[in-house]
């Protein structure tokens, strides 16, 4: 694959309302926040931005509402080097929203209103099928209707477009969908929901990866937060640690990892090198607040890697 290999990302766009507080409110409790910001997010958009800023040739299939937020997000995506022609504006719908609490340990808890993201139907996928056919890889997540993810995976599979799925938020998936995936990137929770195997050790990760290989997926990358990833290719597994940084907010760490990883793969980097590149991008992201505001540009990732030797 060359530098001009094309990426299609299909997924969600949200306006993130982020409230930092000392601890998560318990049922019935009110906690006074320390800081509040609205920033652009959504797993699909975050991954598209991570790829765009890392240098991918990328088009994004998504939906925004016919509101001011949707228009501003579309403009920002274009500035992030993304072809937004497959981003539809849905009349009568609001742009998706995520309400995010971040506690004093930098952990987050998220509630979502899909809004216009629900309009990313199989019919919408069909309208943009040429983008998928023309791409070398299709990257998706699960904040879009599942039947649309399946339709897109089928189109990609039929046209030799590699399918990479970040199965977040966690849910069980059909064998039909899993069989169409080339690379899957669950975190530990998602891996457990997909396989029934709790990932507490390398042995568990190897078994969970094995269960996903049995469904027909060649490459499994289980992300382990600050411990890095478990990479398993056709059953050959290894732990690849990530960089040690002072994490302040892990929102979009996984999204940055995914967008950067597939960008590096499409440049022809070996899988292990692409994981290092993605670890660097995600390490930078966790040192900054918010989703898209935290995603680094290529020059920042290259400088970080150089510094780390």
Provide the annotated active-site residues. 255
Residues 238-267 that bind ligand ATP (CB under 6 A): 242-243, 245, 247, 250, 252-255, 257
Does residue 259 contact residue 49 with C-beta atoms inside 8 Å?
A: yes
For residue 129, the partner it binds in ligand RIB, ligand ATP, none, with Cβ less than 5 to 8 A by kind, is none
Q: Annotate 146-162 with b (16+ C-beta within 10 A) or e (fewer).
A: eebbbbbbbbbbeeebb
For residues 275 and 221, the answer to whether their CB atoms sit within 8 Å is: yes
Q: Check residue 176 and give left, alpha or beta (phi > 0: left; psi -120 to 50: alpha).
A: alpha
Nearest residue to 127 via CA among 147, 146, 148, 142: 148
The residue with its CB nearest to ligand ATP is: 254
CA–CA gap between residue 121 and residue 119 (Å, rounded): 5
The reply to whether 44 sits in an annotated binding site is: yes
Nearer to ligand ATP (CB atom), residue 119 or residue 168 = 168
Residue 144 marked as a ligand binder: no
- Out of ligand RIB, ligand ATP, none, what residue 295 binds, judged by CB under 5 to 8 A for its kind, is none
User: What is the rounded distance in angstroms from the CA atom of residue 111 to the CA atom of residue 54?
Assistant: 28
Nearest 5°: the CA angle 36, 50, 174 is: 95
Ranked by CB distance to ligand RIB, the top (closest) residue is 41
253 contact choice in ligand ATP, ligand RIB, none (CB below 5 to 8 Å, kind-dependent): ligand ATP
> Closer CB to ligand RIB, residue 41 or residue 86?
41
Does position 187 interact with ligand ATP (CB under 6 A)? The reply is: yes
Check the annotation: does 74 bind a ligand: no
Q: How far apart are CB 47 and ligand RIB at their closest, in Å?
A: 9
- Asked if residue 25 binds ligand ATP (CB under 6 A), the reply is no
d(CA 5, CA 89): 27
16 binds, among ligand RIB, ligand ATP, none (CB under 5 to 8 A by kind): ligand RIB
What would the 3-class secondary structure string for 29-98 be? Answer: CCCCCCEEEEEEECHHHHHHHHHHHHCCEEEEEEEEECCHHHHHHHHHHHHCCEECCCEEEECCCCCEEE
Q: Which of 199, 266, 271 is CA-nearest to residue 56?
A: 266
Q: Does 46 bind ligand RIB (CB under 6 A)?
A: yes
The answer to whether 105 is annotated as binding is no
* 16 is annotated as contributing to ligand binding: yes
Binders of ligand ATP among 219-238, rule CB under 6 A? 223-226, 228-229
What is the contact surface with ligand RIB in residues (CB under 6 A)?
A: 14, 16, 41-43, 46, 98, 110, 112, 143, 251-252, 255, 291
Binding site feature residues for substrate: 14-16, 42-46, 143, 255
């Amino acid at each position: 694959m060359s530098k001009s290999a094309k990426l299609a990302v299909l997924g969600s766009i949200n306006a993130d309302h982020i409230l930092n507080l000392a601890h998560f409110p318990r049922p019935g409790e009110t906690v006074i926040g320390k800081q509040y910001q609205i920033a652009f997010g959504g797993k699909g958009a975050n991954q598209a931005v991570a790829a765009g800023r890392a240098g991918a040739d990328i088009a994004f299939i998504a939906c925004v509402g016919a509101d001011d937020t949707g228009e501003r997000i579309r403009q920002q995506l274009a500035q992030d080097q993304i072809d937004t022609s497959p981003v539809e504006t849905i009349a009568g719908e609001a742009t998706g929203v995520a309400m995010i609490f971040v506690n004093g340990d930098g952990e987050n808890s998220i509630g979502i209103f899909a809004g216009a993201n629900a309009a990313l139907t199989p019919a919408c996928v069909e309208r943009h099928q040429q983008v998928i056919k023309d791409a070398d890889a299709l990257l998706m997540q699960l904040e879009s209707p599942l039947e649309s993810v399946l339709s897109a995976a089928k189109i990609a599979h039929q046209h030799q477009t590699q399918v990479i799925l970040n199965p977040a938020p966690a849910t069980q998936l059909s064998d039909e969908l899993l069989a169409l995936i080339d690379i899957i990137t669950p975190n530990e929770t998602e891996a457990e929901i997909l396989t029934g195997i709790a990932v507490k050790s390398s042995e568990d990760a190897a078994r969970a990866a094995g269960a996903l290989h049995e469904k027909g997926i060649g490459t499994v990358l289980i992300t382990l937060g600050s411990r890095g990833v478990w990479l398993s290719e056709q059953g050959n597994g290894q732990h690849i640690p990530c960089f040690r940084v002072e994490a302040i907010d892990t929102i979009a760490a996984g999204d940055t990892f995914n967008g950067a990883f597939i960008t590096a793969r499409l440049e022809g980097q070996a899988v292990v090198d692409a994981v290092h590149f993605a670890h660097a991008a995600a390490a930078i992201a966790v040192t900054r607040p918010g989703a898209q505001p935290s995603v680094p540009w290529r020059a920042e990732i290259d400088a970080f890697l150089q510094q780390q030797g």
